[in-house]
Amino acid sequence: MISDIFKGFRKAKEISFNYLYTPYAKLIFYLNGVKFASNLTVFGFMKVIVTRRGSVTIGKNLVVNSGNNYNIIGRQQKTIFWVEGSLTIGDNVGMSSAAIICNHSIKIGNNVTIGGNSVIYDTDFHSINPEIRQNKAMDKLNAKSGKVIINDNVFIGAHSTILKGVTIGVNSIVGACSVVTKDIPDNEIWAGNPAQFIKSISF
């Protein structure tokens, strides 16, 4: 009996908060100058930081799970957009507790699924030169960046890392916990650290 009451209270609380998250996300997007289309759905509170030179465009039907109440597969965190460059997200994209750090350019196509706790970085963040790293301003200026392109119908498995300069081809799949350091052609499955070719996909 007590268990039933607790579960009912938990469900009621979840439903109540669900009505808050999407309007809050829309407000945060608006304040950051994010252009977003219809049918945005967000569960949990996001962290969104778009700098003065950054720009974000989001297509229709973006679905975001954010935080430990809506991403229960481990390593829970808020979904994070940190954008100093150009971030474009297409239609029908879903992500769960992901971190997208866009210093230069990241383009995500249509019908893309980004698994829980995956991260996408288009910069190395730091120089490989140890002397330059001692100066924070010079370190940032000398960090290498490269455009990231994730094409239509890509599935990125949970806990994966997509690094700078990478293009992932149409319909391709990245296995869970992979680190993608180079381009993946269309219609292929890659996995591992670093990610390597597993097999082709035929339809």
Residue 181 backbone phi and psi in degrees, to 5: -115, -10
Closest by Cα among 32, 27, 26 to 84: 32
Edge-to-edge strands of the sheet including 113-114?
A: 41-43, 63-65, 94-96, 113-114, 155-156, 173-174, 188-192, 195-200
Q: Which of 47, 60, 126, 140 is catalytic?
A: 126
Q: How far apart are CA 94 and CA 98, in angstroms?
A: 10
Spacing of C-alpha 121 from chain mean position? 9
Q: Does the active-site annotation cover 126? A: yes
Structure tokens of 164?
A: 């700078």
Closest by Cα among 63, 60, 24, 72 to 42: 63
Active site residues: 126
